[in-house]
Structure 1
Amino acid sequence: MQRRAFLQLATGLVASSVLAGYASPLWAGTKEQIGEAKRFRASRRYMQTSFGRIAYVERGSGEAALFLHGFPLNSFQWRGALERLSPYRRCIAPDFLGLGYTEVAPGQSVAPDAQVAMLIALLDALGVGRVDVVGSDSGGAVAQLFITKHPERVRSLLLTNCDTEHESPPAAMKPVIALSHEGKFVDTWLAPWLANKTLARSPQGIGGMCFADPTDPTDEAIDCYFTPLVSSPHRKALVHAYAIALENNPLAGIGAALRQSRVPTRIVWGIDDTIFSFAGAEYLDRTMGRSLGIRRVPNAKLFYPEERPDLIAEEARKLWKTV
């Protein structure tokens, strides 16, 4: 989605009063999907840290893998991958500060550097030393900061479409950041999508922007992602703070540290993404000190890991065999 289209969407939603009458057919979901969401909620845990009460899901045992989600999603993004990979790793998927169900401590920053520090605190509290990191979207930016600040804690890195040094934030985020400065992003985009699932899955919604399947995201996923974010003025402010923290490139100057990294890194990129260009994958491949190459994923947009968990599991298992 180009910046012009994003701006048109924002303007249209603010100006239009027809959203309430926008027909949205009831989507009951399959029994499997509804059961999946219920099981995920039931498995959510919380860890009290100085950063706040961190929500996370953990499955499996043995060596640990850490899954870092995108914006404005939460750990539910990785449900399919966790199911497939928990026989091979202790899979840990937290909700970032400011997103999902994590309860942020008063005055706590939600910027990428703070996210890294929070992850270290969470892993320490869980008794986890080294991890295999899997990152998507802004979670991929946090993953890059994580491996440069704490290389001794990382065995391997799997990156899907995400921020890179020369595309952080991407142009598509600029209207999101502008609306966040005005305190309007949540009410302009997320609240209407939550209220109207058909709109959310339309070309003007998160579905058309970030998912290849027109039936995605499901009603259950939309509820899981956006309900906590619209729940109070405080939560809305945290979402806005998260977006604003991406404005001044958090990856600026990281290239030298990435070149020095000895962490085996695999890049798996959806080539139909309109948010992040394929040039980002090429940058990572030539910059990472130990890149294991790029896999191009056709018919895949930004949040394809949610739609293609088998592919993520396949690539993760191949990568983990190298360490």
Structure 2
Amino acid sequence: MSQSVEGIDLSSWVEQSEVFEFQGHALRYWEAGEGEPLLLIHGFPSGSWDWQHLWRPLAQRYRVIACDMLGFGFSAKPRGHRYSLIEQADIQQALMTHLGIRRYHVLAHDYGDSVAQELLARDGAGPSFLASLCFLNGGLFPETHRPVLVQKLLMSPFGFLVGKGFNQDKLRQNFGRVFGPDTQPSERELAGFWEMIACNNGQAIMHRLIRYMPERKVHRDRWVIAMQKTRVPMRVIDGAADPVSGAHMVARYRELITRADTVLLDGIGHYPQVEAPEQVLAAYLDFRSEKAEAA
């Protein structure tokens, strides 16, 4: 791996975090660099450290911001809370207000894609605040989302027991299925992913966080219409080998979105920013360069 996308030690990452409050909950966030604001939105079930390989090279070009959403990573994980993608979008906007940022770019992944879709729908319904939007692998369309077994079990009436029994070995097994065959996570990465989940006993709320899957179906039409009508520049950068939201999701995106801007990464799975950070960085910078030239 090249020096430009070298990872960040998790303990150092946590030390660099700051805290802001949202409705009484303490949320961890990170900020670095200067220039146009770029908000990074992580996925399920981990946190913002997912962006560790891209953080420094992006911060050389932009003012990058990321937060561990409510229930994730090193942020608060209230036990009886009713977690919602809508609230998570509220949190992203609250963070931007906290930082005095009115207009920004978004790079999102997985669960974060749904949060970004909600932001896009809001952008189209009022004053525009999104400058561009880039999606990595995620369930942009419920009809193409293929959840892994543990997600299905978490959705069941016994989901709370599944969460309580979730451990690092089971995380390894599940991530092994969704990462590319030749780009499996390292032991260091697996330990970091697990620490984000286990912090504040996160296993105990996994069955609550997973409710985002049916929530996606509720908002599906509104979000897809927003994507079809928007003038906000969009690109999808997708690991094609991902069984959850890989090449089959991109095929659906091309069916529904006019002049679809997509980049497929052969052999890469569900976490392209971890598996192939150089390729993701190149594709993202190319996207930003093309849109800047077109403006």
Q: TM-score, normalised by structure 1?
A: 0.77
Tell me which of 134, 138, 146 is aligned to 1:170: 146
Alpha-carbon offset, residue 34 of structure 1: 8.6
The alignment partner of 1:119 has SS state of helix
The alignment partner of 2:152 has SS state of helix
Distance change in 2, residues 1:135/1:215 (3 Å): closer
Distance change in 2, residues 1:34/1:138 (3 Å): closer
Name 1:303's counterpart in structure 2.
Answer: 271
Correspondence 1:216-227 to 2 at 5 A: 216-227=184-195
Flag the structure with larger Rg: 1
Tell me which of 215, 221, 228 is aligned to 1:259: 228
- Residues of 2 paired with 1:311 and 1:283: CA distance? 22
Q: Deviations over 1:29-54 (max 9, x none)?
A: xxx98963332122122112226211
Name 1:314's counterpart in structure 2.
Answer: 282
- Residues of 2 paired with 1:302 and 1:132: CA distance? 22
Preserved contact between residue 64 and residue 130 of structure 1 (Cα < 8 Å): yes
Name 1:24's counterpart in structure 2.
Answer: none
Unaligned runs of 5+ in 1: 1-31, 195-199
Equivalenced residues, count? 281
Name 1:92's counterpart in structure 2.
Answer: 65
The alignment partner of 1:118 has SS state of helix
- Residues of 2 paired with 1:144 and 1:171: CA distance? 19
Name 2:133's counterpart in structure 1.
Answer: 157
The alignment partner of 2:137 has SS state of strand
- Residues of 1 paired with 2:91 and 2:242: CA distance? 29
Distance change in 2, residues 1:169/1:267 (3 Å): closer
Name 2:211's counterpart in structure 1.
Answer: 244
Amino acid at match of 1:252: R
Alpha-carbon offset, residue 100 of structure 1: 0.6
Name 1:284's counterpart in structure 2.
Answer: 253
Whether 2:166 is the aligned partner of 1:189: answer yes
- Residues of 2 paired with 1:67 and 1:136: CA distance? 8
Correspondence 1:1-323 to 2 at 5 A: 36-50=9-23, 52-104=25-77, 108-151=81-124, 152-167=128-143, 169-172=145-148, 174-179=151-156, 181-193=158-170, 200=172, 205-212=173-180, 216-231=184-199, 235-248=202-215, 249-253=217-221, 254-288=223-257, 291=259, 293-321=261-289, 322-323=291-292
- Residues of 2 paired with 1:208 and 1:182: CA distance? 21
Q: Deviations over 1:298-323 (max 9, x none)?
A: 11000121121222221222222214
Amino acid at match of 1:190: N
Preserved contact between residue 270 and residue 296 of structure 1 (Cα < 8 Å): yes
Unaligned runs of 5+ in 2: none
Q: Deviations over 1:266-311 (max 9, x none)?
A: 111111111124232133334346x552111011000121121222
Preserved contact between residue 70 and residue 138 of structure 1 (Cα < 8 Å): yes
Greater mean alpha carbon deviation, residues 77-86 or residues 52-61: 52-61
The alignment partner of 2:109 has SS state of strand
Greater mean alpha carbon deviation, residues 139-148 or residues 235-244: 235-244
Q: Deviations over 1:199-256 (max 9, x none)?
A: x1xxxx13321222667433333333223533556x3333221102323425421222
Preserved contact between residue 106 and residue 132 of structure 2 (Cα < 8 Å): yes
The alignment partner of 1:72 has SS state of coil
Greater mean alpha carbon deviation, residues 106-115 or residues 123-132: 106-115
Amino acid at match of 2:283: E
Amino acid at match of 1:178: M
Preserved contact between residue 55 and residue 94 of structure 1 (Cα < 8 Å): yes
Distance change in 2, residues 1:145/1:49 (3 Å): same
Amino acid at match of 2:263: R
- Residues of 2 paired with 1:288 and 1:154: CA distance? 18
Q: Deviations over 1:138-169 (max 9, x none)?
A: 11121111111134121111111111224375
Preserved contact between residue 239 and residue 266 of structure 2 (Cα < 8 Å): yes
Alpha-carbon offset, residue 105 of structure 1: 6.0
- Residues of 2 paired with 1:207 and 1:258: CA distance? 29
Preserved contact between residue 153 and residue 159 of structure 2 (Cα < 8 Å): no
